[in-house]
Amino acid sequence: MEDNNIGNYLYGMHPVLEALRSGKNVVKVLLKQGLEGPQFRELMEILNERKIQFQFVPVEKLAKISRGGAHQGVAACISDLEPVSLEEMVNNALAVKDNPVFVILDGVSDVRNFGAIARTLECAGGSGIILPAKGGAALNADAVKTSAGALMRLDVCRVPNLKYAIYFLKQNGFRLVSATEKTDRLIYDVDLTGPVAIVLGSESKGISKPVLDLSDDRAAIPMSGEISSLNVSAAASVVLFEAVRQRKVSER
């Protein structure tokens, strides 16, 4: 029988374990016969404890689900992740951190870039991602896989209008910093130590003018090569870890 939910499968031991540890959205898990080791034992403990359905299947089925990727003998069927409200995102972040970091994606629709940015944000200690309701990347299994499970640990919010999100964030003490080449100020010259929302735009169009006009600051990544721009997920890494560096320095 054809599996109509193949697009909702997350595969690979680490992403599946992250999904399970997060306590979210796992419907069932498919396993290859003969798996062993500490991660497999942890996996089975969680499945049994939470009474999540699991099934041992032929390796060919896992290969089909992963479309040739490294499934490592495990795949999990997940429901699409549910976004949170902007108010909930801000309250969740401020409840645990004095200076949260959010990322706003303006026109970034590629799922792989979205997942890679989420992974970097989680590694950098960030709290959440804000997307437009229309035109933003899908919040699905492919995004979770690319994020190495980070999307299970971050809040994601969809808003009908990014300007509304910006006004709300400013009212709650966040500064808006747009990562753009349309400025003489470098990321090293812009304060990223307080509550901040970093805006990243699409590679084709960049950040829209209305969002740029609402920014408290603009920050450029210095370029020395012949190619004048970075992939948006690479740019996110540079800016987010400059924020990490500044925060570490300020703590000394």
Domain count, the chain: 2
User: Is the residue at 44 inside a domain?
Assistant: yes
Give CA 90 to chain center in angstroms.
16
pTM strictly above 0.85: no
Q: What CATH code is carried by the domain that includes residue 26? A: 3.30.1330.30
Q: Give the C-alpha separation, 204 to 196, whole Å.
A: 25
The pLDDT score that the predictor gives to residue 232 is 95
Which residue among 78, 113, 131 closes a domain?
78
Question: How confident is the model over 68-94, as a mean pLDDT?
Answer: 88
The pLDDT score that the predictor gives to residue 4 is 42
Same domain as 226, residue 117: yes
Which residue among 56, 78, 100 closes a domain?
78
Beta bridge partners of 214: none
Tens-place pLDDT, residues 229-243: 789 999 999 999 999
Tens-place pLDDT, residues 101-153: 999 999 999 999 999 999 999 999 999 999 999 989 988 878 888 888 888 88
Rounded-to-5 percentages of helix, strand, coil across the chain: 40, 20, 35
